[in-house]
Chain A
């Protein structure tokens, strides 16, 4: 397959065939993680810059591992806070990175649209979106797809329920897009104060009762609850949240027998997910982490390779 995508800003332009092809490639990449020598020379000499404007250890380390396993050189540029607070504009940062010779820029930023902005400014480097504000986190969606696909085989027609703070979640937005592309039917559940106003336009259904939402589901995806939402009065106490929307054994029991339980991590055990579920037989949460490295390897391989 001719790989058309040089950058990954969002999954809009990806076809279902491309997603399937990608998932298969990620599978083969996973084999390298199992080797005694976790390295293949495919991206030797390529320079990947992790440009993280928001704190994130997990995603950054995942990208770093992925790059290093393919022998790329990975460099970290961390900058907390907005570019204006540092004095240098984002535009200048972008040009600096390109002048330094970056082949790929992996960017996470608190503002929507930053990867789009960078891709308009950079000529050579590939842009990989590691999360832009509330808008998207496409590599998370890809690794979620990979984990679910490995467990379930076929995602076409699968029933997926996403539970939690969808309004502020870029993970939810990207997952909705990706899983729908693979033919899954997606339902949302959670406090109504934490749902987007117009769910119809996203192609999903909103169900207020969590038991109804979980019934018969093939995939149950639990989002993190952030402390700020509680402080803003949008969500009741952690205890109430756990009782009304938390992943408990009794809730999981309502879903299909082989239900896949997922969480983007890091977990607030006892709030959105009980430990017995997180560590239980239906949970693929650790598998998601493993998929994360494999998926990011496949992504770097496909985007960075080839003559340009």
Chain B
């Protein structure tokens, strides 16, 4: 089965092409990139005025499966990801049972394969049961296909265990993804510590809670010389600390979420305490948002990851304080980022922005998957086509995800993914009617 994506502007993961080019795909592989390509019996998809990119990669999403399937499961999640323009998604292991063994890693992989959506790559726990006391079987899980180790939902609880995990994972070529939070400073906290917490008296979550854990991880990275990745960094000082570590030459990387790039703490007040704005880490100040974009622009940020956190309506449609933390956004997150980027006056180059969905996260995966995120001859045919001009309303009722509460519900956003291919298979097609 061959496909020709015709006349688009190609982004190869690093830079934007300047002319109209075609991509010829055959048997799940990118065969040729060039102008005026032809292929016998090939299906031609017109991509004029669109950006043809490597398949987008989301390295942080919660699919709640096994254990919490009423919120999401691997099938609905994988399809939602594809609908959101993602060709690959990395799932988090805070399920029930937690993904802390070969059996659970393999379960996630096989469910993902049959889902018919984005490619699902599981991450696995650092500690057994995410309890933070003993190391999980990192080697065996890496063998089975885990692509990150993380206790996300929480930081690795003690420094000693984190240091051991960093040393141990170094040879496995699987990165540790740390959720940067110092729990003693965040107990009972609901919103960012600052103007909003002063105004309504909700307990505040200080920026220091994030910075302290980042500094801890960097110190251990320095000593073990092992790569460490910080996920959903949300503060100016968090980004600054990582920037300094990078300039020192340390293997430190990080990602930021679409909501921390577009929303700030004032939305909690303006939204009149809608639980749609309750998230961990909390929405921060306008200045933090600005500094996150600076990190995007200057290369401090390596990837944009959604931290898609779905809940059932009954769980999330409750008063603010009672609500669980989490924003579910995988189906509109690319649009949120593109729309915000445009509204803020394009604070980073388009190629840099697109790299944070592609080559950036791709480089963080183990060797066997590292080629994802680049569009070139011989590569897997994972493709995401973007229409930068399209304006569309976010309609949660159309979502394939089970989640129905989202901060952008009903909003008109500009810049949407319109085609998703995984290994040459079409998983989402809004370019042509009917798929």
What's the interface size class on B, roughly? 20 to 34
A116 cross-chain contacts in B, Cβ below 8 A: 272-274
Residue of B nearest to A114 (CB): B319
Given contacts A197-B193, A197-B204, contact A117 B198 (CB under 8 A): no
A135 CB–B CB distance under 8 Å:
yes
B273 contacts A89, C-beta separation under 8 Å: no
Q: Is B314 part of the contact surface with A, judged by Cβ < 8 Å?
A: yes
- Among A110-145, those with CB < 8 Å from B are 111-114, 116-117, 120, 133-136
Whether B397 sits at the interface, judged by CB under 8 Å, is: no
- Cβ–Cβ contact B194 & A117, under 8 A: no
Residue from the set A111, A113, A197 with the largest chain B CB neighbour count within 10 Å:
A113
Chain A residues in 8 Å Cβ range of B317: 91
Which residue of the partner chain A has the closest CB to B206?
A197
Task: Return the contact of B314 from the options A89, A113, A135 (Cβ within 8 A).
Answer: A89
Give Cα distance in the complex from A136 to B194, angstroms.
17
Within 8 A of B (CB), among A69-124: 82, 84, 89-91, 109, 111-114, 116-117, 120
Interface 9-mer from A166-174, A217-225, A237-245, A249-257: A166-174
In Å, the complex CA distance between A179 and B200 comes to 17
0 or 1 for each of B305-324: is its CB under 8 Å from A? (1 = yes)? 00000000010011111100
- A11-34 with Cβ < 8 A to chain B: none
Indicate if A231 sits at the interface (CB-CB under 8 A).
no
**Which among A37-45, A151-159, A198-206, A260-268 touches the partner chain?**
A198-206
A113 to B268, CA, bound (A): 10
Bound complex: CA of A120 vs CA of B320, how far in Å?
13
A90–B318 contact, CB under 8 A? yes
Residue of B nearest to A84 (CB): B322
B282 CB, min distance to chain A CBs, angstroms: 14
> Per-residue CB proximity of B189-227 to A under 8 Å, as 1/0?
010011101111110100000000000000000000000
Within 8 A of A (CB), among B371-388: none
The answer to whether B201 and A91 touch across the interface, beta carbons within 8 angstroms, is no
Contact check, B193 vs A134: say whether CB atoms are below 8 A apart: no
Inter-chain contact B273/A113, CB cutoff 8 Å: yes
Question: Chain A residue with minimal CB distance to B201?
Answer: A134
**Of B194, B201, B273, the contact of A201 (CB 8 Å cutoff):** B194
Q: Are B198 and A135 in contact (CB under 8 A)?
A: no
In the assembled complex, the CB of B384 is this many whole angstroms from the nearest CB of chain A, namely 36
Tally inter-chain residue pairs, CB-CB below 8 A: 76
Q: Are B318 and A89 in contact (CB under 8 A)?
A: yes
Given contacts A112-B273, A117-B273, contact A197 B200 (CB under 8 A): no
Given the complex of chains A and B, what is the CA–CA distance between A117 and B274 in angstroms?
A: 7
Are B318 and A135 in contact, CB atoms less than 8 angstroms apart? no
Per the bound structure, the CA–CA distance linking A91 and B323 in Å amounts to 13
Cα distance A170–B201 when bound, in Å? 8
Do residues A133 and B194 form an inter-chain contact, with CB atoms below 8 A? no
Min CB distance, B431 to chain A, in Å? 37
Contact of B195 among A91, A111, A198 (CB under 8 A): A198
Is B198 touching A112 in the complex (CB atoms < 8 A)?
no
What is the distance, in angstroms, from A169's C-beta to the closest C-beta of chain B? 8
Query: B176-198, CB under 8 A of A: which get 1 and which 0?
Result: 00000000000000100111011
Whole-angstrom CA separation of A112 from B190 in the bound complex: 11
Q: A196 at interface (Cβ–Cβ under 8 A)?
A: yes
Known contacts: A116-B272, A117-B273, A197-B204. The answer to whether A82 contacts B322 by CB under 8 A is yes
In the assembled complex, which residues on chain B have CB atoms less than 8 Å from the CB atom of A198? Answer: 193-195, 197-198
A91 / chain B contacts, CB cutoff of 8 Å: 317-318
A199 contacts B198, C-beta separation under 8 Å: yes
What CA separation (Å) do A170 and B199 show in the bound complex?
10
Interface residues of B (CB under 8 A from A): 190, 193-195, 197-202, 204, 272-274, 314, 317-322
Binding site for B on A (CB under 8 A): 9, 82, 84, 89-91, 109, 111-114, 116-117, 120, 133-136, 167-170, 173, 196-199, 201-202
Q: What are 24 residue pairs bridging A and B, where the CB atoms are less than 8 Å apart in the complex?
A: A9-B272, A84-B322, A89-B318, A90-B318, A91-B318, A109-B319, A111-B319, A112-B273, A113-B200, A113-B273, A113-B320, A116-B274, A117-B319, A120-B272, A133-B200, A133-B321, A173-B199, A173-B200, A197-B194, A197-B197, A198-B194, A198-B195, A199-B198, A202-B198
Given A9-B272, A117-B273, A201-B198, 11 other A-B residues pairs in contact with their CB atoms under 8 A: A90-B319, A111-B321, A112-B200, A112-B320, A113-B321, A116-B273, A135-B202, A173-B201, A196-B198, A198-B195, A199-B198
